[in-house]
Structure 1
């Protein structure tokens, strides 16, 4: 039997709720922690709930989501979005959707290599989604009875980590590109995979320090003195104004606990100097997803200023059906937009400072 870990944040929330249920003292007439958290503005809660309702409504029978970017990675994003609002993942309104999504991801995984297919983008985001679900979702009833034994969330996550490490070890840059057999790398794909590994490590899965340090060295070499981050090619090449890549680098330095690096100072400074640029650029939802986390990890006051602009923009753009439009299609754009908003909730372990 696979006994799940307990998400400490949710466990604390349930304990507070239980205590309040039996407490009649006037000092507790207003619960300090509701399901969504008292600090979450009403318009954010309403936007988020409508977005989740949209995602639940367009989930396929197989458990995934359609669109041009369908695969285990975008399913992993949806899993994180459903976990992020604090709804009970085992008995809440989206518990069935979560289980279908997790089954879909695990069924796409190669039992030998651990690779989720599609690209290493998908592998990274799927690994991240599994890491956030591990310990929060009780997978003892994940699979229907009969039909033989299926992989648990923990087993699938360990296998995915092994696949990512094998890919890195075969890559001369010690990073990742689209194919697990690639001989070059880029900072976008590498950010997705490295965040998956860091989340797995936070969840208790063994990830060697050498693997993390080698990937951070790759990012350091791709970061310029003014905080710009290159895309691919040789070390230190291809610098340009990409808030997405700058945010990715800032985030991985933060979560890897390498804020001592001068490259981290440079990227964070660049983001803070360009807070007003939110809403401008290519694949904006992808940038939002990373910039929200980078600023939250790096400077909470800067995040608060940027977050107000984000909330205003997303409130104006959300469709009547709850979806957020974007170049990545409504399914993926909605997943990324919700995850950018999810810093207001702070329930995901990877979102903790």
Structure 2
């Protein structure tokens, strides 16, 4: 059984300025027999994840970034989440801990953000901003020192403020509550929006200021993105359906359905009929290695179906393992078969593969219901 880092304890010490925050405590977690069984990770998955992590470490540059293509801040943030999701702790004296610490220091460099915006300097736009903000909320309280935790907290203040201001930009009714490529955009899409939603919810879980109506507006946008009309009570006309890239589109896709389902769960709507309908749709339309943006979709799919439980979780666990393990390279990394996704590089694909396989490790708070 794994020990889990007590982030809440650390956050309280950061707020109080206690020097004891430099020493990271651990707490044992004890659950039901079902929960304990869920902690068991097959040896083949452990081996694949270990090889993937080593492949990521080989990509780390002298400046601390972990990226083999452009969008270095966003891609490094994905790599940090991948390392963290399998238990790496910044500055713990191990190779992984030292690599994580250096990667965090790279992301926190003032040159990597404009005001509170992480998406301009590296060209990743609001995609990268959401990814980096989510990463920082997930590792808040888990830095290598009090100083690093305080700098993470300071960076998050501006990052979250930018997400909230971007959501408040005037938009058509069916686009309200979502986000698009730039902070000033007057339209929205689900792919960009889910990263902001997860960042806000994780920030709220950290005790940072996130107005309740920001989450409610996001939920309204998600309902508009469901591919069957939803009534005033949140009930869809066609129960088994999915999500689309933009509202008004009635053709669900694997990636967007998985993203929409996870976004609803992240907002606390685990029992929503949209979640149940999306899970059933995904059971009927399982992922394939040649899907467009396969790794991106698998990240959402593995998380969301795990949260849904039952047949959805069992099926997704099996398929995630089968699909990802058979395409891992001899060098330990992953690379996309999709031409568009391939352009993002092997750190991108490898990080998402590790995050997909690592759902069952239960280290990152965003994976916990």
Separation of aligned partners in 2, 1:77 and 1:171: 30
Spell out the pairing of 1:96-245 with structure 2 (5 A cutoff): 96-107=98-109, 108-110=111-113, 112-117=115-120, 118=123, 119-140=125-146, 142=148, 152-172=151-171, 173-225=176-228, 226-232=240-246, 235=247, 237-245=248-256
Q: 1:288: which partner in 2? A: 298
Q: Secondary structure at the match of 1:94?
A: helix
Which residue does the alignment assign to 1:95?
97
Distance 1:300 1:122, change over 3 A: farther
* 1:258 corresponding residue in structure 2: 269
Matches within 5 A, 1:66-81: 66-81=67-82
Contact 1:171 1:181 in 2 (8 A): no
Whether the 8 Å contact between 1:247 and 1:290 is mirrored in structure 2 is yes
Structure 2 residue runs of 5 or longer lacking an equivalent are: 1-9, 16-20, 31-35, 229-239, 337-341
SS at structure 1 position matched to 2:108? helix
Is residue 349 of structure 2 the alignment partner of residue 341 of structure 1? Answer: no
Change (3 A) 1:288 1:322: same
CA distance in 2, matches of 1:89, 1:337: 21
Contact 1:288–1:340, Cα closer than 8 Å, also in 2: yes
Deviation at 1:261, TM superposition (A): 3.5
Equivalences, count? 321
Unmatched tracts of structure 1, length 5 or more? 17-32, 144-150
Q: d(CA) in 2 for partners of 1:259 and 1:139?
A: 35
Instruction: Answer whether contact 1:278 1:310 (CA < 8 A) is retained.
Output: no
Q: Is the 8 A contact 1:4 1:134 kept in 2?
A: no
Q: What SS class does the counterpart of residue 95 from structure 2 fall into? A: coil
Task: Compare 238-247 and 159-168 and name the one that shifted more.
Answer: 238-247
- Whether the aligned pair in 1 keeps the contact of 2:244 and 2:252 (CA below 8 Å) is no
Shift in CA distance, 59/212, structure 1 to aligned 2, threshold 3 Å = same
Secondary structure of the 1:317 match is coil
1:122-145 Cα offsets, whole Å, 9 max, x none, are 0011011101111122333649xx
In the TM superposition, residue 293 of structure 1 has moved relative to its aligned partner by: 0.7
- The equivalent of 1:29 in structure 2 is none
Change (3 A) 1:279 1:219: same
Q: Partners in 2 of 1:64 and 1:317 — Cα distance? A: 25
Equivalent residue for 2:6? none
> What's the CA shift string for 1:152-173, capped at 9, x where partnerless?
1111122211111111111422
Q: Distance in 2 between matches of 1:316 and 1:104?
A: 33
| Structure 1 residues 67 and 89, CA gap change in structure 2 (3 angstroms) | closer
Query: TM-score normalised to the size of structure 1?
Result: 0.83
CA contact (8 A) 1:114 1:156 kept: no
8 Å CA contact 1:168, 1:174 repeated in 2:
yes
For structure 1, which segment, 263-272 or 73-82, has the greater mean C-alpha deviation from structure 2 after superposition? Answer: 263-272
Q: CA deviation at 1:109?
A: 4.4
**Among residues 300, 323, 332, which one is paired with 1:322 in the alignment?**
332
TM-superposed CA distance for 1:114, in Å, is 3.8
**8 Å contact kept, 2:225–2:244:** yes
Q: Which residue of 2 aligns with 1:21?
A: none
Partner of 1:310: 320
TM-score by length of 2: 0.80
> 2: CA distance between counterparts of 1:10 and 1:140?
14
2:242 touches 2:253 (CA, 8 Å); kept in 1?
yes
Q: Which of 117-126 and 254-263 deviates more?
A: 254-263
Residue 205 of structure 1 deviates from its aligned partner by: 1.2
Asked if the contact 2:88/2:100 (under 8 Å) is kept, the reply is no
